[in-house]
């Protein structure tokens, strides 16, 4: 068994939605990022890579590489799944938390779980996504950005 943890945060900017867990969530702001800025998938990617001993998301999908500009983060997840398969590793479960004041995401969580599970070829029941606020403290509380953290277990 191998455990990995991941974290990501991005600033809000002008826009009309955010990508979260591979799902387009309507919002009065967007995410400032090189790729699509999906903090949930980025945290999960870092957790998966860490558990496999493969470094971090920046090592594999650099924000200095123009090929990753505006890239769909689901592509990172699928690529990492292939890397895990090559190492004979499989995902047992994922537990992730999104930290944000707004938008409210509860009605999107089941879709996020399904997208993540599908991209990793695991069951929806092996993916847990939850959301919390920061009680109006810090950059999240001031609605300047969004963060996510994830823990994964590999076999």
Output the pLDDT for position 6. Answer: 98
* 5: DSSP letter: E
pLDDT at 66 over 90: no
pTM: 0.96
Residue 70 has pLDDT above 80, yes or no: yes
Q: What is the dihedral of CA 42, 46, 49, 53, to 10 degrees?
A: 170
pLDDT band at 65 (very low <50, low <70, confident <90, very high): confident
**Residue 67: which pLDDT band, with cuts at 50, 70 and 90?**
confident
Has residue 68 got a pLDDT over 80?
A: no
126-150 pLDDT, tens digit per residue, is 999 999 999 999 999 999 999 999 9
| Over residues 80-95, mean pLDDT | 98
How many whole angstroms separate alpha carbon 42 and alpha carbon 46?
6
Q: Mean pLDDT score of the chain, rounded to an integer?
A: 96
Distances (CA, A) of 39 to 9, 31, 88, 121: 6, 9, 27, 20
* Structural domains in the chain, sorted by start: 2-154 (3.30.1330.50)
């Amino acid at each position: 068994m191998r455990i990995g943890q991941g974290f990501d945060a991005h600033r809000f900017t002008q826009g009309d939605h955010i990508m979260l867990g591979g799902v387009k969530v309507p919002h009065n702001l967007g995410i400032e990022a090189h790729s699509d800025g999906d903090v949930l998938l980025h945290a999960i990617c870092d957790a998966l890579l860490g558990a496999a001993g493969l470094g971090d998301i920046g090592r594999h999908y650099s924000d200095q590489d123009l090929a990753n500009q505006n890239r769909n983060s689901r592509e990172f997840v699928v690529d990492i799944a292939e890397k895990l398969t090559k190492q004979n590793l499989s995902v047992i479960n994922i537990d992730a938390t999104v930290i944000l004041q707004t938008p409210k995401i509860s009605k999107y969580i089941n879709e996020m779980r399904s997208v993540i599970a599908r991209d990793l070829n695991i069951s929806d029941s092996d993916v847990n996504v939850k959301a919390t606020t920061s009680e109006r403290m810090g950059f999240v509380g001031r609605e300047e950005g969004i963060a996510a953290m994830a823990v994964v277990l590999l076999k």
